[in-house]
A = this chain, B = another copy of it.
Amino acid sequence: MMNTIGLHAVVNGKVVMASEAVVPVTRREVQYGFSVYEALRIIKGHAVHLEDHIRRLNNSCRGIGLVHSITEEDFVAWVGLLIEADDIDDATVRILLVGGQPSICYITAAPLLTYPDSYYDGGICTITYEGERFLPACKTSNLLLNYLALRKANEAGAFEALLVDRHGRILEGTRSNFFAFSKADGTLHTAADELVLEGITRDRILKAAALDGIDVVFEPPRLSDIHAGKYDELFISSTSMGAMPVRKVDDLLFSDPFDRTQAICRRIRSWELDD
């Protein structure tokens, strides 16, 4: 059967051709980036952790005061419409909600974003980039910092940029959460909830760590401590990536195996069809 992922889109509950998923540039909320979004995985026709994504989308809306009248049931039904229209088996789906009167909800699909096994076996390279995301607890379209940081990473041949805040701490990557295992006691360090996005994968990583007997310390790793050798295994996480080990931070090398990261990744992937 023909792969039709990306042929259609769902706009405010109506199936349209993807080319009609457009926003007017004269709309004030478009000009100001007053919108929120989610990206989620469809695996074997199942929208993974969909209710969590809808909950987070609504949290982002509350965070910036974006008012809409779309119910949870609407979102679920609309994602279902797109799965049906494009006959989706596996895909990455994006929900974009643009504020205004009325708000507009766009649901679009693209081929499932996956990464080579080598990224998980050997780890990925990162650079560091100074900057702090505005309203870190909300997933908004205010992403220029992330765009510029990721572009710089890619130009340097790296996969991700780790954002270093004004206090020298790494809170997150441009599209990932960040974790580091303490060399001294094996605890897992990461930023506290209120400093970063309430990660759907992040939550499951914390749960997986608990099952592996790992204690979590909610303190964001400092770049200087990373250089001082305080951590011996680092990883990033996201919906698409799962948990992905870090081989390099700028010029600093970490060597495989990344057993603890891989164990966590296997666990969280095993939960994807459990909703």
B151 x A145 contact (CB < 8 A): no
Task: Say yes or no for A32: interface residue by CB 8 A criterion.
Answer: yes
B147 x A108 contact (CB < 8 A): no
CA distance A106 to B31 in the complex (A): 12
Residues of B within 8 Å of A26, CB to CB, are: 6, 9, 18, 21, 94, 108, 110
Residues of B within 8 Å of A96, CB to CB, are: 25, 31
Which stretch in A113-121, A136-144, A242-250 binds the other chain? A136-144
Task: Say yes or no for A273: interface residue by CB 8 A criterion.
Answer: no
Query: C-beta contact mask, A21-40 vs B, less than 8 Å → 1, else 0?
Result: 11111100111111001000
Task: Say yes or no for A148: interface residue by CB 8 A criterion.
Answer: yes
Task: Say yes or no for A200: interface residue by CB 8 A criterion.
Answer: no
In the complex, the chain B residue whose C-beta lies closest to that of A109 is: B26
CA distance A21 to B22 in the complex (A): 9
CA distance A151 to B64 in the complex (A): 11
Q: Restricting to A45-88, which residues have a CB under 8 Å from any CB of B?
A: 64-65
Q: How large is the interface on A (under 10, 10 to 19, 20 to 34, 35 or more residues)?
A: 35 or more
Task: Say yes or no for A224: interface residue by CB 8 A criterion.
Answer: no
Residues of B within 8 Å of A3, CB to CB, are: none
CA distance A209 to B119 in the complex (A): 60
Residues of B within 8 Å of A65, CB to CB, are: 148, 151
Set B6, B23, B33: member contacting A25, Cβ < 8 A: B23
CA distance A226 to B25 in the complex (A): 38
In the complex, the chain B residue whose C-beta lies closest to that of A133 is: B134
Most buried by B among A65, A108, A142, A146: A142
Residues of B within 8 Å of A21, CB to CB, are: 24-26
A25 to chain B, nearest CB (A): 5
Question: 5 shortest A-B CB distances, which residue pairs?
Answer: A22-B22, A32-B147, A142-B144, A32-B143, A25-B106
8 more A-B contacts (CB under 8 A) besides A33-B142, A134-B145?
Answer: A23-B23, A26-B94, A26-B110, A31-B37, A65-B148, A65-B151, A135-B144, A166-B166
Q: Offer 7 A-B interface pairs, CB within 8 angstroms, sorted by A.
A: A22-B22, A22-B24, A23-B25, A26-B94, A26-B110, A33-B144, A34-B144
